[in-house]
Amino acid sequence: MLRIGILGAAGIAPAAIIRPAARRSDVKVVAVASRREERARQFAERHGIDRSYGDYPQMLADTGVDLVYNALPPSEHAKWSIAALEAGKHVLCEKPFAMNAEEAARMIEAAHSTGCRLIEAFHDRYHPLSIELDAVRASGALGGITMLRADFSASNPFNPASLRHDPQLGGGSLMDLGCYPVHWVRAFMGEEPTVLGASASLNPLGADLSISADLQFPSGAQALLTSAMVEQAQHLNSSLEVTGTGGQLRVNNMVFPSRGHSITLTTEGLERTWTVRGLETYDHQLEAVVDALQTGRELPTEGSDCLANMKIIDAIYQAAGVGR
């Protein structure tokens, strides 16, 4: 039985870990911690969690917790992930992994020194859709890749009280949304790009409401990445387009494919559209984590992958002139 403790009584936790755990017989969420004891207690009661703590170190000292799900703001990821690792817990840390690559490197070093696992929660990477895209790439149907376009935009009007809009807490469209397109193009290409240029529009607090970046891969392919917190109600787009010398690929709904998605491949003038069967992305992620802890198998969103993604995020911000 894998026993999970949640750091932060966060709104993402029910979908990301509580409900997926409840659908399994070998996983249980046993504890939650918040800086406000009453909030932790109410959260635990609402979700049927055995223990609640009004202090993070208390939960990390709980010997009945095997894995910590770090749902805190990005500004708290490094400190408390490292503390959890040093307490002998494995960690599933929400994206974005850290505030910058320097923090990410320290987190990964802590995982190495403690022998505990530290995994970034890019849940979409574990859905069968990702495996299908890897297969399309490996098939050679697209020929040589020349251009990728990736976008994640969602309705999230400016709110100064929201952590997603506060740069001190790790807010901004690139950190909250654009980290996914960065991950998509890196995973699809299997290469680490350089940033050619970037631009951003900022909110009154200095966080990016939207950002775009031009990337160059060693193989010669270029990529245009965009992310935006838009004003339109219920707007959501997470798409990837790939152009090669042999054809084009378009994928709709990269982030939540179980809610409806499509894969369209055009080669030699013929267009084929299909989908792949799968559960919620979070179910596949938890399955992968359980398997990795049992087998020791390395996951695609841990170790050097986490650091590489943060390096690109840092470089995009620097190219856009966004101070952090």
Query: 212: which residues sit within 8 A by CB, 6+ positions away?
Result: 198, 199, 200, 224, 225, 226
Query: With 0-12 CB in 10 A as exposed, 13-18 as middle and 19+ as buried, what is 63?
Result: exposed
Alpha helices by DSSP H, 156-299: 173, 179-189, 281-295
Report which residue type is found at 84: A
H helix or E strand, kind and range, residue 97: none
What is the Cα–Cα distance from 124 to 218, expressed in whole angstroms? 25
Structure tokens at 287: 């399955």
Are 3 and 64 spatial neighbours (Cβ–Cβ below 8 Å)? yes
Phi/psi at 271 (5° precision): -115, 130
Question: What one-character DSSP code corresponds to residue 322?
Answer: -
Catalytic site positions: 95
Are 269 and 258 spatial neighbours (Cβ–Cβ below 8 Å)? no
Are 193 and 312 spatial neighbours (Cβ–Cβ below 8 Å)? yes
Question: What spatial distance separates the first Cα and last Cα of the chain, rounded to whole Å?
Answer: 41
Query: In Å, what is the CA distance from 196 to each residue of 174, 213, 319?
Result: 16, 8, 8
Structure tokens at 281: 């992305």
The owner of tokens 């017989």 is 25
